């Protein structure tokens, strides 16, 4: 059984609940006596509230109360420390004062008996502002003179400046990426319910434990007085890692009105007050010797961050992967930030790497063209034998196998290197490729597993399944360990009162959670044996070390076999539990990274100015895939999101007043069914046992890294036009139409 269940393509165990509409997401909770809240959001990006007139709104049907900076309860800041697991991205509390830092900031909250009445009254709240000029984008931020270099994140080795000056071939190019918004299909939502001093939050979070700690800090409570529940999440992509003002607004209002309160952030404000991937400007300077060996790499990036947090500001670490993906003795990476009047940026799928690899991997393609070298050959030539930024060996690196397998599958050998040389009818075909790269992280984790008298095994952990399949792979691990079928295993996640588990982010939930589950499972088996040898138990004369657990049964040396249900029943016990803690991975011996390669075909029809991605082959080296079905799906999905990044996605801000102008799904374009290319994902599936016992490194980010550059490189191959500013919209290609 063991070899079959780990990694097997098993359907999700939470599938039927999701497919029948029975899975309750946060906003699906309707509590007795629950009130509804609706926000009022600032219409200016910078300024002050002069006056809030609620008189008309208060007369509106069903209104219970209206909150704003003059009357919202006084709360505390959370320390916002990652190591204390109480992090937020926007430290300022909702309604803390009358200052406006960004358009779409909460300025008031209406609580009413029904959703309709709350919404109707919210439109009747009148807010008068004194508006100041807003810093609307990165360039305006720099003109404002507000560049802050982030010294701690810099990396330098050798002498890149000198090596560049004396090198045979050089590239010096600047790339830009726009603000992208996570836009999970489920909007941020909270149902907040107080029972005395206990707060229950049905919340949309990628981290129930972190959220619990944040709310405890904000309301001055002990963590035991807060329960955060997210059994199902309509995904997050980083946007739901840390609590946002909406959740605190809902909980504060619920306490003030003495009723539970539901608050859902409207889609248009998902572009303002719940985070985004910031705008970046990145300068890449590469140099090679005559043979194409990199002799100098410099990656200098600037990203935008919000004026609302001038301490603990979010920094997009665009150079994170550049430090070590290729071999180069002379290398430097810098990060700067500049302040703008936008909401707080945050991690969005592959933070730093998705933006940074667009720049690096585009520059690598430009250099390959300069050298007249095949871009795959150029990358192979510059393969890094170890992590040169840390002087550590790779725990497991099969990127050359990824290149080989994906190239073979794609048919890369048939590529004609000449720009615009490959045709199919009216369409010009472009082929591009590049590398993907993401770090692998494993943190400490607690978990509990119990054999139960009804014949089932139960596992609980304070992590959550955000759509990645965590429920299912936890069950697979326990099925392997206990020899029981999946339908005898119940997994509960998404409750902060369970043993402390990780946030689902950074691709580390799998590597962090599964070892703790397995350790707790083994402890539960030991507990079962201890119960079996008790007087009156199933093996009263045996020693625990003489008992063997297999396929749900304990056996002794004489061949006596008893099912665990009977072992428990013999002593009238409900369960045999094991609880365990596992530590994070040791990072002093190995560098843990995931790798991969994308090969992309685009089709450009110059007659009608149509560009589409028609084919993607990606080979992913992310350790063992715990479930082939969900793993493949997740990589395919990240490729789809990467197509959005490359071709469609950008939140556009009016340069005059800093307001987002396309804050809806009709104008902020994301990939739809019709944009779906043929996607072929190869999971290399080399277990990384230096990392953890399962050899799994995690899959959430790796697929989106590099994909935008692979598409841009294919566009260059088709059109001869190098697009250095995402997204690659048609207007940027129009001037090449004859």
**In the window 222-241, what residues touch another protein (CB under 8 A)?**
229, 231-235, 237
Angle between helical axes of 245-257 and 208-219 (0-180°, round to 10): 50
Q: Which residue has the tokens 């789809």?
A: 640
CB of 98 to another protein, least distance (A): 29
Which of 16, 73, 220, 258 binds another protein (CB under 8 A)? It is 16
CB of 460 to another protein, least distance (A): 10
27 binds another protein (CB under 8 A): yes
For another protein, what does the binding mask look like between residues 63 and 102, x meaning CB under 8 A?
A: ----------------------------------------
Residue (152 or 673) nearer to another protein, CB: 673
DSSP 8-state secondary structure symbol assigned to residue 738: -
Residue (146 or 680) nearer to another protein, CB: 680
- Count Cβ neighbours within 10 Å for each residue of 471-496 and write b for 16 or more, e otherwise: bbbbbbbbbbbbbbebebbbbebbbb
Binding piece for another protein, criterion CB under 8 A, among 91-99, 142-150, 553-561, 663-671: 663-671
CB of 569 to another protein, least distance (A): 23
Compute, in degrees rounded to 10, the torsion defined by CA atoms 302, 304, 307, 313: -70
Binding piece for another protein, criterion CB under 8 A, among 110-118, 507-515, 549-557, 570-578: 110-118
Residue (86 or 631) nearer to another protein, CB: 631
CB of 104 to another protein, least distance (A): 16
Q: Which residues are CB-contacts of 671 (< 8 A; sequence separation ≥ 6)? A: 640, 641, 643, 644, 648
Residues 236-275 that bind another protein (CB under 8 A): 237, 260, 264, 266-267
The 3-state secondary structure of 349-375 reads CCCCHHHHHHHHHHHHHHHHHHHCCCH
Which of 583, 676, 693, 734 binds another protein (CB under 8 A)? It is 676
Residue (363 or 616) nearer to another protein, CB: 616
CB of 455 to another protein, least distance (A): 14
| Residue in 543, 544, 538 with CA at minimum distance from that of residue 526 | 544
**Residues 235, 623: contact at Cβ < 8 Å?**
no
Residues 479-498 that bind another protein (CB under 8 A): 487, 490-492, 494-495
**Residues 623, 396: contact at Cβ < 8 Å?**
yes
**Residues 378, 291: contact at Cβ < 8 Å?**
no
Residue 231 sits at φ, ψ, to 5 deg, of -65, -30
Which of 94, 499, 671, 727 binds another protein (CB under 8 A)? It is 671
CB of 193 to another protein, least distance (A): 6
Q: Cis peptide leading into 625, omega within 30 of 0? A: no
The 3-state secondary structure of 576-635 reads EEEEEEECCCCCCCCECEEEEEEEEEEEEECCCCEEEEEEEEEEEECECCCEHHHHHHHH
Residue (142 or 670) nearer to another protein, CB: 670
619 binds another protein (CB under 8 A): no
Residue (343 or 671) nearer to another protein, CB: 671
User: Rounded to an integer, what distance in angstroms lies between the CA atom of residue 375 and that of residue 400?
Assistant: 13
Residues 548-577 that bind another protein (CB under 8 A): none
Strands 294-306, 331-340: parallel, antiparallel or unpaired by DSSP?
parallel
User: Rounded to an integer, what distance in angstroms lies between the CA atom of residue 286 and that of residue 274?
Assistant: 36
Binding piece for another protein, criterion CB under 8 A, among 135-143, 184-192, 369-377, 531-539: 184-192
Q: Which residue has the tokens 């572009």?
A: 271
Binding piece for another protein, criterion CB under 8 A, among 350-358, 398-406, 464-472, 569-577: 464-472
User: Rounded to an integer, what distance in angstroms lies between the CA atom of residue 624 and that of residue 696?
Assistant: 5
28 binds another protein (CB under 8 A): yes
Residue (188 or 724) nearer to another protein, CB: 188
672 binds another protein (CB under 8 A): yes
Query: DSSP secondary structure string, 254-276?
Result: HHHHTS-EEEE--GGGGGTSS--
Which of 618, 638, 651, 719 binds another protein (CB under 8 A)? It is 638
CB of 121 to another protein, least distance (A): 12
Candidates 366, 453, 701, 725; catalytic one = 701
Please classify residue 58 by burial: count the beta carbons closer than 10 Å to its beta carbon, then call 0-12 exposed, 13-18 middle and 19+ buried.
middle
Residues 29-58 that bind another protein (CB under 8 A): 29-34
Binding piece for another protein, criterion CB under 8 A, among 112-120, 361-369, 419-427, 522-530: 112-120
- SS3 of 694, please? coil
DSSP 8-state secondary structure symbol assigned to residue 493: -
Residue (2 or 22) nearer to another protein, CB: 22
Q: By 3-state DSSP, what share of the chain in percent is helix, strand and coil, each rounded to 5?
A: 30, 25, 45
8 binds another protein (CB under 8 A): no
Residue (330 or 482) nearer to another protein, CB: 482
CB of 184 to another protein, least distance (A): 6
Question: Is 408 considered catalytic here?
Answer: no
Which of 309, 369, 496, 630 binds another protein (CB under 8 A)? It is 630
β-sheet bridge partners, residue 177:
280
Query: How many CB atoms within 10 Å of residue 142?
Result: 16
Q: Residues for the chain: how many in total?
A: 738
| Residue in 571, 618, 637, 623 with CA at minimum distance from that of residue 184 | 637
578 binds another protein (CB under 8 A): no
**Residues 277, 348: contact at Cβ < 8 Å?**
yes
13 binds another protein (CB under 8 A): yes
499 binds another protein (CB under 8 A): no
421 binds another protein (CB under 8 A): no
Which of 24, 48, 155, 157 binds another protein (CB under 8 A)? It is 24
Residues 113-172 that bind another protein (CB under 8 A): 114-116, 120
User: Rounded to an integer, what distance in angstroms lies between the CA atom of residue 67 and that of residue 347?
Assistant: 30
Residue (466 or 626) nearer to another protein, CB: 466
For another protein, what does the binding mask look like between residues 709 and 738, x meaning CB under 8 A?
A: ------------------------------
**Residues 41, 270: contact at Cβ < 8 Å?**
no
Residues 201-220 that bind another protein (CB under 8 A): none
Residues in contact with another protein, counted by CB under 8 A, come to a total of 78
| Catalytic residue IDs | 701
């Amino acid at each position: 059984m063991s070899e079959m269940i780990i990694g097997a393509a098993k359907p999700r165990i939470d599938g039927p609940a999701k497919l029948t509409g029975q899975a309750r997401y946060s906003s699906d909770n309707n509590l007795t006596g629950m009130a509804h809240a609706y926000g009022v959001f600032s219409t200016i990006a910078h300024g002050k509230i002069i006056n809030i007139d609620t008189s008309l709104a208060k007369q509106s049907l069903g209104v219970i109360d209206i909150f704003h900076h003059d009357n919202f309860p006084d709360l505390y800041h959370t320390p916002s420390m990652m190591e204390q697991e109480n992090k937020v991205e926007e430290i300022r509390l909702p309604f803390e004062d009358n200052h406006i830092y960004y358009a779409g900031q909460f300025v008031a909250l209406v609580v009413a008996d029904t959703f309709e009445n709350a919404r109707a009254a919210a439109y009747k709240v009148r807010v008068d502002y004194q508006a100041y000029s807003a810093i609307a984008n990165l360039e305006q931020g720099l003109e404002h003179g507000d560049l802050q270099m982030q010294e701690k994140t810099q990396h330098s080795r050798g002498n890149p400046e000198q090596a560049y000056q004396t090198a045979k071939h050089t590239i010096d190019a600047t790339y830009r990426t726009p603000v992208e918004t996570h836009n999970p299909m489920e909007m941020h939502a909270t149902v907040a319910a107080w029972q005395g001093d206990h707060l229950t939050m049905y919340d949309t979070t990628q981290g129930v434990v972190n959220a619990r700690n944040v709310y405890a800090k904000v309301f001055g409570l002990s963590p035991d007085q807060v329960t955060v529940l997210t059994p199902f999440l309509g995904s997050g992509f980083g946007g739901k890692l840390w609590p946002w003002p909406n959740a605190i607004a809902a909980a504060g209002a619920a306490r003030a009105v003495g009723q539970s309160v539901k608050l859902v952030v409207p889609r248009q404000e998902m572009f303002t007050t719940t985070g985004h991937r910031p705008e970046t400007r990145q300068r890449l300077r590469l140099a090679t010797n005559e043979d194409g060996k990199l002799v100098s790499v410099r990656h200098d990036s600037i990203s935008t961050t919000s004026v609302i947090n001038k301490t603990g500001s979010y920094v997009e670490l665009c150079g994170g992967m550049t430090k070590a993906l290729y071999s180069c003795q002379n290398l430097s990476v810098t990060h700067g930030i500049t302040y703008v009047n936008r909401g707080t940026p945050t991690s969005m799928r592959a933070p730093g790497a998705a933006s940074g690899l667009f720049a690096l991997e585009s520059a690598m393609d430009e250099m390959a063209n300069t050298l007249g070298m095949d871009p795959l050959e150029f990358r192979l030539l510059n393969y890094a034998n170890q992590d040169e930024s840390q002087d550590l060996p790779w725990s497991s690196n099969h990127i050359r196998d990824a290149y080989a397998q994906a190239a073979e599958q794609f048919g890369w050998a048939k590529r004609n290197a000449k720009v615009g040389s490959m045709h199919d009818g009216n369409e010009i075909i472009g082929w591009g490729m590049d590398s993907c790269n993401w770090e692998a992280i494993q943190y400490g984790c607690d978990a509990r597993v119990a054999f139960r008298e009804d014949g089932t095994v139960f596992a609980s952990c304070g992590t959550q399944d955000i759509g990645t399949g965590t429920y299912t792979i936890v069950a697979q691990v326990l099925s392997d360990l206990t020899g029981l079928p999946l339908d005898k295993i119940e997994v509960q996640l998404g409750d902060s009162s369970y043993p402390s588990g990780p946030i689902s982010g950074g691709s580390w939930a799998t590597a962090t959670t599964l070892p703790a589950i397995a350790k707790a499972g083994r402890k539960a088996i030991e507990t079962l044996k201890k119960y079996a040898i008790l007087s009156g138990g199933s093996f009263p004369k045996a020693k625990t070390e003489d008992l063997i657990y297999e396929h749900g049964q304990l056996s002794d040396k004489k061949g006596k076999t008893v099912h665990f249900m009977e072992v428990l029943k013999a002593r009238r016990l409900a369960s045999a539990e094991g609880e365990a803690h596992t530590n994070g991975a040791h990072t002093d011996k190995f560098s843990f990274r995931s790798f991969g390669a994308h090969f992309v075909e685009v089709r450009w029809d110059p007659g009608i100015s149509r560009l589409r991605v028609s084919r993607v082959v990606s080979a992913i080296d992310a350790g063992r895939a715990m479930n082939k079905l969900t793993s493949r799906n997740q990589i395919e999905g990240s490729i789809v999101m990467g197509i959005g990044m490359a071709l469609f996605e950008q939140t556009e801000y009016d340069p005059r007043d800093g307001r987002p102008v396309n804050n809806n799904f009709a104008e902020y374009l994301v990939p739809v069914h019709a944009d779906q290319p043929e996607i072929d994902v190869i999971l290399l599936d080399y277990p990384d046992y230096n990392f953890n016992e399962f050899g799994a490194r995690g899959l959430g980010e790796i697929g989106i890294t590099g994909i935008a550059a692979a598409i841009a490189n294919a566009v260059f191959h088709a059109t001869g036009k190098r697009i250095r500013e995402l997204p690659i919209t048609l207007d940027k290609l129009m001037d090449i139409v004859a």
